[in-house]
Chains A and B, each alone.
Chain A
Amino acid sequence: MATAVDPSPPDSQTASEPWLRMYRRMVTIRLFEEQVNDLYTRALMPGLAHLYIGEEAVAVGICEALRQDDYITSTHRGHGHCLAKGAAPDRMFAELLGKEAGYCKGKGGSMHIADPATGNLGANAIVGGSTGIATGAAFSAKRLGNGRVSVCFFGEGALGQGALYEVLNMASLWKLPVVYVCENNLYNEYTHYSEVTAGDILARGAAFGLLAEAVDGQDVRAVHAAARRLVDRARRGEGPALLLANTYRYFGHHVGDVSRDYYRSKQEEQQWKTERDPIQILGAWLIGQKLADGARLEEIHAEVKAEIDRAVQFATAAPYPGADKVQQDVYAGE
């Protein structure tokens, strides 16, 4: 069951457009998150945030294989998933700043961004908390026959949650169209996953009869190729899959986790940043394949930077919700 993934995508091998779109998406997530860190550092953002920097290829490679009406569930480290599924940076920032114009009217914040228009069932601040929701969305898709697929993003920390295995069992029993994407960024918060994870991760999925594969989570082409196969397979009714994406979290568990020496070395961080950076890897491939030149990539960075700056300005200027809104939306239909 645990097979390596061929990094060549099944099609679009030479067409530059999808790869440039994925490049832009990854840069968008990177610059969005850098801006989040900046807002936090300058005490302009309430609360905390968990940055996705370093893991961009996973969300982008997966979501590029999805239809707009396919479902995702996300995690506390969810900005990347939301952006990759099509959320707009301006309303994302507005939500992070607790503004009325945010995706959740400021009621959710960084860890709860949800957007029905892009099939985003919501980010979830309980580790493993959305595994049931994602599986239920796949249950609906099958029952209603609408051809949708559900993707459940979760970190390797969620491997410790029992509810995950309960839904893997049901997804397999009922052949639900769901792909579980385990983002292994090596750290359960501040603890290396190997200290708290026994046995073989893929074997956990295989034990329930899921197709279980691993992929290099820093290579968006590899992630996308795997996602296309597993998503298309799920859509054909051939059952759920577990994709283990091996990746790395450049920053701390959250923006305030800046002194990390006690759980990992600066050398390790540096090595991932210089040798395994997903944006650099795709950029080098695009240039090598003559699908883009350095100037074009710089142009993309500049365009994204301008979009992010405008988004921050929008969110900063946007009004807070009135205190009279606090009791709205507790119950539907009231």
Chain B
Amino acid sequence: MPENNGRELTLAQAIREALAEEMRRDSRVVILGEDIAEAGHPFKVLTGLVEEFGAERVLDTPISEAGFTGLAVGAAMTGLRPVVDIMFGDFITLTMDQMVNQAAKVHYMSGGKWNVPMVLRTTLGATRRSAAQHSQSLHAWFCHIPGLKVALPSTPYDAKGLLKTAIRDDNPVAFFEDKMMYRLKGPVPEEEYTIPFGVADIKRAGDDITIVATSSMVQVALGAAKLLEGAGISAEVIDPRTLWPLDEKTLIESARKTSRVMVMDEGYGRYGVAAEIASVISEGAFFDLEVPVKKLGAMHVPIPFSPPLEDATVPTEQSVFETARAMCG
């Protein structure tokens, strides 16, 4: 990490700074989405960009996710580097044909002749009291598709560095931001930096158990690790940062070291990211494991509105602590 000089940004500010820097650096970068120009996005992540870069590069679109995502695919093929803003992660379902059948396949189907250098930014994460259609974490859908890359930062520092890498990548990248973390503050240096894809980050070193956590679950895992420390258990917390490419080596090495692994991801627990990572670790570290790999994800229900119901669907520091302690017992 470059020297910080004490500067802190929120995750939203880090995202905005990454976009602004890349737009200054490369005139081919444009942003398309709903309410992103004058409104600066409902989450105010993009405030000020249209003032600096103009309405020709920061475009308010109609509420047509399939249409403007498809338009971005064509624009990416022909010389621009579009960043598409999908306001809520739940709405990626509307972009599926464009992302899965078009963006992901253009390079391969054309024998490597056409590229699709685009980024689809969207959100994940529950507990905002937004109910079943504005709260899901659907990143696993894109992880399933060859031709797409998937990044999901857990800190302002990672958000900025990963987004800059995503914009410079010659492939379609889906970039998921936890909407509950936009106000999370963290150190972000003034100096230019990028973070390569496929490099996991050990957020906390430990010896007794590995907790692999993504995006929103990293802070939960770190909180649980503190509780575990009080119980005499040393937890290592690893954030893969990109799900494809996936840094399998770092995950497996940690599993071999600690011999106990829990995988946390806010996507639905079944058939999801946590299951895939658990499978990678089981195959790569089977003979070093003391207990089966445990996965923790969102409960397999549509996300409910009522606060006590919604809170019960997501792993918490306490539930992670208890599960981890039982694994180490």
Contact = CB atoms under 8 A, between A and B. Distances in A.
A170 B110 CA distance: 27
Contacts of B69: 132
Interface string B95-133: 001100110001111111111110000000000000000
B20 interface: no
A140 B102 CA distance: 17
Interface residues of A, number: 48
B101 A126 contact: yes
A99 B99 CA distance: 27
A286 to B, nearest CB: 37
Given A137-B75, A169-B64, A170-B62, A129 B97 contact: yes
Contacts of B170: 332-333
Given A137-B75, A140-B74, A167-B71, A121 B114 contact: yes
B307 interface: no
A141 B78 CA distance: 8
Interface string A308-334: 000000000000000000001111110
B111 A107 contact: yes
A136 B74 contact: yes
B169 to A, nearest CB: 8
Given A122-B114, A144-B80, A107 B67 contact: no
Nearest to A95: B111
B56 interface: yes
A68 B70 CA distance: 24
Given A112-B109, A114-B109, A132 B66 contact: yes
A122 B73 CA distance: 12
B61 A136 contact: no
Given A115-B113, A163-B70, A330 B146 contact: yes
A102 interface: yes
A173 B62 contact: yes
A137 B74 contact: yes
Contacts of B292: none
Interface in A139-173: 139-141, 143-144, 146, 150, 162-163, 166-167, 169-170, 173
A103 to B, nearest CB: 7
A104 B112 CA distance: 7
B111 A329 contact: yes
A184 interface: no
Nearest to A328: B112
A330 B147 contact: yes
Contacts of A330: 107-108, 146-147
Contacts of A47: none
Contacts of A23: none
Contacts of B115: 332
Which 8 interchain pairs have the tightest Cβ spacing? A132-B70, A136-B74, A166-B67, A105-B111, A133-B74, A104-B111, A166-B64, A329-B112
30 contacts: A103-B111, A104-B113, A106-B111, A114-B114, A115-B113, A122-B114, A126-B102, A129-B102, A130-B102, A132-B69, A132-B72, A132-B73, A134-B74, A135-B71, A136-B78, A137-B75, A139-B71, A140-B74, A140-B80, A143-B75, A150-B74, A167-B64, A170-B62, A170-B68, A329-B112, A330-B147, A331-B107, A331-B171, A332-B107, A332-B170
Given A132-B71, A166-B67, 20 more contacts: A73-B74, A105-B111, A105-B112, A114-B109, A121-B77, A129-B97, A129-B101, A132-B69, A132-B72, A139-B75, A140-B75, A140-B80, A144-B79, A163-B70, A166-B66, A166-B70, A170-B67, A329-B107, A331-B171, A332-B117
Interface of A: 71, 73, 102-108, 112, 114-116, 121-122, 124, 126, 129-141, 143-144, 146, 150, 162-163, 166-167, 169-170, 173-174, 328-333
